Amino acid sequence: MNEVQVVLDQIGSRVYAERKARNISKRALSERVGLHLNALKRIEDGGGCYLTTLIRMANALDMSLGELLAEDWTPPKRRPTLTPRQTIVLEAVIEGGSLAEVGKRIGVSGSTVGSALSTIYTRFGIRHTFEYRDERRAAAIRIARTHGLISKGSDDETNG
């Protein structure tokens, strides 16, 4: 493999990692950049492209071309996500109450709320090492707020 191909492979791997970390689909990124989906796939697979395309791609990833090509670039950590239903559940949990009470406020069963919370805890890496449910809930709320996934209330507002 020649030096140029090594660099193109690196760029493709970095674009892929940055796209995945931001939870952007190939289709969404290709539309933001104005590329055909196959062109983005080719770039991520180490194919070449114009410098202007790389600049547009970096901008679409909310970074500069310099950041994307930096020698000290490191793969970003993947940002947690929530489904719309999980967001509704977590925002309702801020107001406090039992699973049944939270469910009643948002029109679902308590078991649905519990299931959504379990999934949220798993997505956020919250283990069952917390002694009390309010600690797990507060940790989930804190993580969601840190990543801008919910806007309502604060950790301190979690009522049992």
Sketch the domain layout of the chain as residue ranges.
Answer: 3-69, 84-157
Question: Per-residue pLDDT averaged across 118-145, rounded?
Answer: 82
Question: Per-residue pLDDT averaged across 130-154, rounded?
Answer: 79
Tens of pLDDT along 87-124?
A: 999 999 999 899 999 999 999 999 999 999 999 988 88
Residue 141: which of 70, 92, 74, 76 has the closest Cα? Answer: 92
Q: Specify the residue for token string 């991520």.
A: 44
DSSP sequence for 13-24: HHHHHHHHHTT-
**CA gap 103, 97 in Å, rounded:** 9
Residue 117: which of 156, 96, 86 has the closest Cα? Answer: 86
Supply the pLDDT for residue 55: 93
Res. 131 pLDDT band, cuts 50 70 90: low
**In angstroms, what CA-CA distances link 135 with 27, 69, 73, 113, 131?**
38, 41, 35, 17, 7
Asked whether the beta carbons of 91 and 152 are under 8 A apart, the reply is yes
In this structure, which topology does domain 3-69 adopt according to CATH?
Answer: 434 Repressor (Amino-terminal Domain) (1.10.260)
CATH code assigned to 84-157: 1.10.10
**CA gap 127, 78 in Å, rounded:** 18
Res. 129 pLDDT band, cuts 50 70 90: low
pLDDT of residue 22 exceeding 90, the answer is: no
